[in-house]
Amino acid sequence: MSAPRPYNLVAELTYRCPLRCVYCSNPIGYRAVRDALGGPAWSRVFGEAAALGAVHVGLTGGEPALHPDLEQIVAGATRASLYSHLVTAGTTLGRDALAALARAGLRSVQLSIQDAEEAAADRIAGAECFDAKLAFAAAVRDLALPLTINVVLHRHNLARVAEIVELAHRLGAARLELANAQYQGWALRNRAALLPTRAQLDAAAREVARLRRESPGMEILFVLPDYHRDRPKPCMGGWGHQSLVVAPDGRVLPCHGAAELPGLEFWRVPERALAECWSDAPGMNAYRGEAWMRAPCRDCPERVRDFGGCRCQAFALTGDASATDPACALAPAHEIVLRAREAAGEPAASFAYRGSA
């Protein structure tokens, strides 16, 4: 077995979620994916992941708090010496339940917030959730759990990064991820309504640079989106390279979106051992390393940094998962991204909420 060490396990506990965010990264066909793993099955996955070298587990979804065995799952991660990190929308988990998770060994929490303004936030989430999130953040802080706030950025909230930083500060966040939307899944459907202009991004980047100086106590992450950068993102740190995703149905994947790629065979736990699913599944090896690359990636010095970009984006935009990621200025299909960029200055289209047809 020569597969690399997966330092990070992404445990997608369920795709169910009370929110309907217009940029949700879950697969469009999420409804068909059943929750197949209970507490004991997840615990076994954690033990096997630790044996493969994992040290960190992100408990995510959907909304992971909707999994009935969450407390048992956190305890399982603790037993496997995995650093457990809960990625939540914060609307369904009460104070007592969160305290129970902390007692079970939960190490840190990431809370998603849509905007600094209630009405705008709830419009993006497609649900009334803003106040519940603020209350949840207070509960996290009271338990002294390290808090990351994640805000997906797009043309409707980029002008408010200063208010967002101020809110994160007030909520006691140790880290703030200002994550520009990645145009896959629901976000790709809503691209014409979400994609910002370069000018909006540059203004926000300048604000962030200023705010970093003024709030040195809080780490602020901000990365220009690949649509405006001419270089693809180093998706997942490489396909099947350092992160391992287990979907709610037990499928072992290299990333959140890979199950949507046609013709790739992935394997499931508990039918097979996690190590086997990680190292030997044909889908896992389809884009591992560099052998799959075509020109211009094949000979490009950047390939060690961007790993050839995102396969799911290549498929979504060109219909061919082996194509060069169109976000790259060297890609034959870069024109697709350039056209989307130009359209970013036009009036926004209406939203298709997650779950809508």
Query: What does the binding site for other proteins look like in residue numbers (CB under 8 A)?
Result: 7-8, 55-56, 58, 81, 83, 85, 107-108, 110, 144, 146, 148, 174-175, 219
Contacts of 257 (CB under 8 A, 6+ apart): 25, 27, 184, 185, 312
Nearest-approach distance from CB 324 to other proteins, in angstroms: 28
Minimum CB distance to other proteins smaller for 67 or for 85: 85
Nearest-approach distance from CB 204 to other proteins, in angstroms: 22
| Single-letter amino acid code for the residue at 290 | E
Q: How far apart are CA 235 and CA 311, in angstroms?
A: 8
Nearest-approach distance from CB 256 to other proteins, in angstroms: 15
Question: Torsion angle, CA of 14/15/19/25, rounded to 10 degrees?
Answer: 130
Alpha carbon 204 to its chain centroid, in Å, reads 21
Nearest-approach distance from CB 126 to other proteins, in angstroms: 26
Please choose, from the candidates 281, 237, 242, 289, the residue with its C-alpha nearest in 3D space to the C-alpha of residue 261. Answer: 281
Question: For the chain, what is the radius of gyration of the CA atoms?
Answer: 20
Q: How far apart are CA 89 and CA 1, in angstroms?
A: 38
Minimum CB distance to other proteins smaller for 83 or for 292: 83
Nearest-approach distance from CB 148 to other proteins, in angstroms: 6
Minimum CB distance to other proteins smaller for 177 or for 260: 177
Count CB neighbours of 107 within 10 A. Answer: 17
Minimum CB distance to other proteins smaller for 20 or for 79: 79
Asked whether the beta carbons of 308 and 293 are under 8 A apart, the reply is yes
Helix-strand-coil percent breakdown of the chain, rounded to 5? 40, 15, 45
Nearest-approach distance from CB 147 to other proteins, in angstroms: 9
Q: What is the 3-state secondary structure (H, E, C) of 275-296?
A: HHHHHHCHHHHHCCCCCCCCCC
| Single-letter amino acid code for the residue at 225 | P
- Sign of the four-CA dihedral 348, 354, 355, 357: positive
Q: How far apart are CA 234 and CA 94, in angstroms?
A: 36
Minimum CB distance to other proteins smaller for 55 or for 330: 55
Minimum CB distance to other proteins smaller for 58 or for 76: 58
Please choose, from the candidates 18, 58, 260, 21, the residue with its C-alpha nearest in 3D space to the C-alpha of residue 154. Answer: 21
Nearest-approach distance from CB 68 to other proteins, in angstroms: 25
Minimum CB distance to other proteins smaller for 1 or for 357: 1
Minimum CB distance to other proteins smaller for 25 or for 148: 148
Nearest-approach distance from CB 237 to other proteins, in angstroms: 11
